[in-house]
Amino acid sequence: MHRMNNNLTTDVQLAAQLLRDGKLVAFPTETVYGLGADARNPIAIKKVFAAKGRPADHPLIVHLGNHEQIAEWAIDIPPTAWALAKHFWPGPLTIVLSKHPSVSPLITGGQDTVALRIPNHHLTLELLKQFGSGLVGPSANKYGRVSPTMAEHVALDLGSEVAAILDGGPCQIGIESTIVYLSKNQPLIMRQGAITAQQIAEVLDTAVALKPQDNISVRTSGSHISHYAPRTPVYLLSTTELLASINSYQMHHKLCSVISFMPKPKNLSRDIYWQQISQEPVVYAQQLYANLRAHDLLNNAAILIEQVPDNLEWVAILDRLTRASFK
């Protein structure tokens, strides 16, 4: 059984000290909670992989406290990187650059690039300032599971693996940062997030490419298709399919729960947990992982999710739902 720990704290000084001691500290960001460790300490980095159960070849993002630190972690930094950092940091954008020779290969999974980001959360910005160096920070969940958007989620998943959880309340954005790879040619979006390809293209005044789903030449663990998945099977369905599926589950005396834009139909059994969800993508994203976790706890036969619109505003959400529902 998972143990609920009392290691939630808002004491930034304590958190910084624990990190200096090589311990793991979960930290809040505007996207999801990160599992923090000293990015210059190989033992601490190894603890991150062990705690998550993450394969060693899946690279980690290094979180920084200020722009000048970019040069401590990357080389051959193109002007586009500075422009994006200036425009979007602190914020939900991760920039992939050529790695500085001093960066541990444990962080980069042996690749010659490194992913950097300044997150936008006042507690974590203060933590990074006090710590004074980079922190690795994968999402603070077990490998392949739903990312945490509240300190309590981290406590449930990794409570016994971390020395402390810096409690910064619910994450404002709720899904992971956009990852952009600044190669010699055009910028490439490796993972969709709140910052869109269009926004990046506008700032850089250049075309931005989207990574094809199956391109694994540069590895991103979020790209593994069955990611962000609850234990209960998730199905992404059209409105018609959703209603038909509910009937089918009912006929076989099985319970499912539903996340839908519609109100619960009057004729449905009281036992079916039906959640009517916001049609605002920003609100939907903010609540998405907490909703998946809550539905998962019901231990029903399935979680049925009504298909979301297929447009720019929903693209990052659709990406996460597709991965959560992959069988």
Q: How far is the CB of 181 from ligand TXA (least distance, A)?
A: 6
Nearest to ligand TXA of 98, 275 (CB atom): 98
Question: Rule CB under 6 A: is residue 259 a binding residue for ligand TXA?
Answer: no
Interaction partner, residue 324 (ligand TXA, Mg ion, none; CB < 5-8 Å by kind): none
Handedness of CA 203, 204, 207, 210 (dihedral sign): negative
Contact residue for ligand TXA among 114, 135, 303, 324 (CB under 6 A): 114
Do 18 and 86 contact (CB within 8 A), yes or no? no
Question: Rule CB under 6 A: is residue 148 a binding residue for ligand TXA?
Answer: no
Pairwise CA distance, residues 118 & 177, whole Å = 11
Question: Rule CB under 6 A: is residue 172 a binding residue for ligand TXA?
Answer: no
The total number of residues written for the chain in this structure: 327
Half-sphere exposure for 280 (CA within 13 Å, toward CB): 5
Q: If DSSP codes are grouped into helix, strand and coil, which group holds residue 236?
A: strand
Contact residue for ligand TXA among 7, 15, 59, 274 (CB under 6 A): 59
Q: How far is the CB of 203 from ligand TXA (least distance, A)?
A: 19
Pairwise CA distance, residues 93 & 201, whole Å = 13
Q: What does the block give as tokens for 192?
A: 């969709």
Nearest to ligand TXA of 119, 187 (CB atom): 119
Handedness of CA 178, 227, 18, 30 (dihedral sign): positive
Q: What does the block give as tokens for 105?
A: 């290969």
Interaction partner, residue 315 (ligand TXA, Mg ion, none; CB < 5-8 Å by kind): none
| Residues at the interface with ligand TXA (CB under 6 A) | 29, 31-32, 34, 58-61, 94, 96, 108, 111, 113-115, 117, 119, 137-139, 176-177, 179, 190-191, 218-222
